[in-house]
Chains A and B, each alone.
Chain A
Amino acid sequence: MSTQADLSRPAGGGHDADEEAVAIARKRASEGKKAEAKLGMMLCAPAALVMVAVMAYPIAYAFWLSLFRADLRTPDQNEFVGLSNYVTVLSSPIWWTAFGVTAFITVVSVILELVLGMLLAIVMHRTIIGRGLVRTSALVPYAIVTVVAAFSWRFAWSQDLGWLAGSSAPLTDRWSSIAIIILAEVWKTVPFMALLLMAGLALVPEDLHKAAAMDGGSAWQRFWMITVPLVMPSILVAVLFRTLDAFRVFDNIFVLTSGANETSSVSMVAYNNLIRGLNLGIGSTMSVLIFITIAIIAVVFTKLFGAAAPGSDEGGRR
């Protein structure tokens, strides 16, 4: 003990000279930190400026427009109307129908994508023979431009012409149209889901599967009790991405039905008002509402599920 105390004395200070030295050292350290922080800011600045120009400004401008009566057909009647555009939109059955359709498409397609994506991810993860071929071919749908794929689907489901339609005309009926929209969405984004999930699967050590097998777990039990909890962070990220994406569904609906038979999504309605109807005020209001909805989804996901996901907390990962 006494030797330790002896050793610690010179380092611990106690003399004026030492205190001075400590002060100098602190000052130098904080100066160094400041300089580093400044350099960091300068390096980030260009990117931040671009982000402000292409994201912050349009968002702010849309919000600003949403507070005005702004119709390009009657440009001289523009005036500030406060939140009355929001009242108009939120009391409109068109908006709420579209909102319902969008929510339905979002929920159903994300669930289907998660289940099928997980299956595909497991197949891609476990394939031994022709692994490259399997993975490449699985990604083909994702590589095709959405609009092109949507046109193919429209053709396939056209009465008397398409190979899937036969004599029926599914795109002329509301629920069959929605089903086809969901099909097109799911077909296209399952590979994306599978890719994200496969990255998660690759992080589960093989030894854990072996250990669980030795502990008496069947394949099904191993999947639910080992794989799923450990892949949960990946699942949440994938589901969040897809939910945000699916809620903005536009191209498939635009091509397949153009919103006929009440199949419009909120994005379609916003487009129809803003671009087709030239009603900048109402259109911007809808855009802002979509933005807010998506922000709420994102916050709910990260706050509720993010914290509960095993592995996302400090203790979960090794």
Chain B
Amino acid sequence: MAEIVLDNVVKRYPDGALAVDNFNLEIADGEFIILVGPSGCGKSTTLNMVAGLEDITQGELRIDGQVVNDKAPKDRDIAMVFQSYALYPHMTVGENMGFPLKLAKVDKSTIQKKVHEAAEMLELTQHLDRKPSNLSGGQRQRVAMGRAIVRQPKAFLMDEPLSNLDAKLRVQMRTQVSRIQKTLGTTTLYVTHDQTEAMTLGDRVVVMRGGIVQQIGSPQHLYDHPANLFVAGFIGSPSMNFVPGRLEGDGIVSALGEARLPDRIRQALERGNGSRDVILGVRPEDFEDARINGDKPGGRFSAPIDVVESMGSDLYAYFTLRGDVASSAELDDLAKDTGNDLHTDGTAMTARLDPTARIRQGDNVELWYNTDKLHIFDAESGRNLVGGDSQSAANAGTGR
């Protein structure tokens, strides 16, 4: 068990490409940290640098206060779980799990004992004598976990360990990973591109984009106070809706109509001293059928509903807003990542409504939205002008 510190870590490839820029992170002993971001954001590179599989170009990596930049992976005492599982095909499950101990010259009876303990924890006991090729995807994944657990390393590194599983198994394994980490209390650095995994697993989440840390914080904090457009759009499913708008007097004008801003937001905007052109962010759950919410303070607008999906507990309404589309490099990146980069006429919006809302496809419905929960971003820089935590926003800014 250990604390890991990344101090201004930079990774630059010989061809000049910058993969990770100025990465700063202090991981406390026993903490579960998630690195999340779209593909190519440098999260795996960061993990490989901690593992020792890639050189660190600049900066310092300290494990338990000791600089380990130049130590070989085998001398760092950290275990890694790979996306491909990387099980040794010529060894049985038991041999695979005992391999790190065998290399460490642990005596046979101890190896057996530890392998059996881990196998029990992962429900692999009856598979110990089988070869990996005879196992299902979920079982292989557990063997890979077992190999990491058996040697009781200082830290676990996990590189998208659940991506190769089908959706149902992934949810199941997610809980198991979380349980194992809590039981063992081992410091864990976990890389994923799936924001749901990030939200559900991590003590803290590091959102990366283009090799730069965008924001670090607890999942709830990132959800409530995203530092910029990118974090706001990445965290949360379905993702936040973005509409271009303009601050005018005490209110804001956008395709969502004209709305008075609450005092808290107005004061924050005055402090921020940003431009008048902004991008409005509204979480799907901050919409409601205007008939249900009656005269609560908030904004109101009408929109023709394209599609209605009833999930039982919620009702998802999809609609399109005519007019300008909020555009920024960050939003383009997000769209590219989700493969949702087809340009439609207008802004596609998602609202999560109360199931009692009587809305049908094709209706022109009056919707209400909670101005108290509005996120307002600078249209130019993408910075959150209200309530995003200023520190990491500044951090992300200097990284550029």
Q: Report which A residues bind B (CB closer than 8 A).
A: 205, 207-208, 210-218, 221, 225-226, 229-230, 310-311, 314-318
Contact = CB atoms under 8 A, between A and B. Distances in A.
A216 B100 contact: yes
Contact of B133 (A210, A216, A316): A316
Interface stretch (B78-86, B173-181, B186-194, B214-222): B78-86
A216 B151 CA distance: 10
A215 B99 contact: yes
A318 B136 CA distance: 11
B90 A214 contact: no
Nearest to A208: B86
Contact of A208 (B53, B88, B134): B88
Contacts of A210: 51, 53, 73, 80, 82, 86
A217 B103 contact: yes
Interface in B88-137: 88-90, 99-100, 103-104, 130-134
Interface string B29-54: 00000000000000000000001110
Given A215-B147, A216-B100, A316 B89 contact: yes
Nearest to B53: A210
Given A205-B84, A230-B89, 18 more contacts: A208-B86, A210-B51, A210-B80, A210-B86, A213-B52, A213-B53, A214-B53, A214-B79, A214-B157, A215-B79, A216-B74, A216-B151, A230-B90, A314-B133, A316-B133, A317-B89, A317-B133, A318-B132
B89 A318 contact: yes
Contacts of B78: 214
Given A226-B88, A230-B89, A230-B90, A214 B80 contact: yes
Nearest to B83: A207
Chain B's interface size range is 20 to 34
B292 interface: no
B357 interface: no
B74 A217 contact: yes
**Best-surrounded residue of B74, B104, B131 (most CB of chain A within 10 A):** B74
Contacts of B82: 207, 210-211
A212 to B, nearest CB: 8
Contacts of B133: 314-318
B67 interface: no
Contacts of A316: 89-90, 131, 133
B54 to A, nearest CB: 10
B97 to A, nearest CB: 10
Contacts of A226: 88
Contact of B103 (A207, A216, A230): A216
27 contacts: A205-B84, A207-B86, A208-B88, A210-B51, A210-B82, A211-B80, A211-B86, A211-B147, A212-B99, A213-B73, A213-B74, A214-B53, A214-B78, A214-B79, A215-B79, A215-B99, A217-B74, A217-B103, A221-B103, A226-B88, A314-B133, A315-B130, A315-B131, A316-B89, A316-B90, A316-B133, A318-B89
Interface string B123-164: 000000011111000000000000100010000010000000
**Best-surrounded residue of B72, B73, B79 (most CB of chain A within 10 A):** B73
A213 B71 CA distance: 12
Interface of B: 51-53, 72-74, 78-80, 82, 84, 86, 88-90, 99-100, 103-104, 130-134, 147, 151, 157
A212 B86 CA distance: 9
Nearest to B82: A207
Contacts of A214: 51, 53, 73-74, 78-80, 157
A228 to B, nearest CB: 10
B198 to A, nearest CB: 23
A179 to B, nearest CB: 37
Contacts of B132: 318
B147 A315 contact: no
Contacts of A311: 89-90
Contacts of A208: 86, 88
Ranked nearest first, the 3 interchain pairs of A and B with the lowest CB-CB distance are A211-B86, A310-B90, A207-B86
Nearest to B84: A207
A180 B51 CA distance: 49
Contact of A215 (B84, B103, B134, B157): B103
Contacts of B147: 211, 215
A211 B84 CA distance: 10
A314 B89 CA distance: 11
Nearest to A232: B90
Contacts of A221: 103
Contacts of B52: 213
Nearest to A128: B14
**Best-surrounded residue of A229, A317, A318 (most CB of chain B within 10 A):** A318
Contacts of B53: 210, 213-214
Contacts of A310: 89-90
A67 B73 CA distance: 67
**Best-surrounded residue of B78, B79, B157 (most CB of chain A within 10 A):** B79
B90 A229 contact: yes
Contacts of B103: 215-217, 221
Contacts of A314: 133
Contacts of B134: 315
Contacts of A213: 52-53, 72-74
A221 B99 CA distance: 11
Nearest to B135: A318
A282 B147 CA distance: 63
Contact of A218 (B74, B79, B80, B86): B74
A211 B53 CA distance: 10
Contacts of A229: 90
Contacts of B131: 315-316
A229 B52 CA distance: 25
B138 to A, nearest CB: 15
A310 B88 CA distance: 11
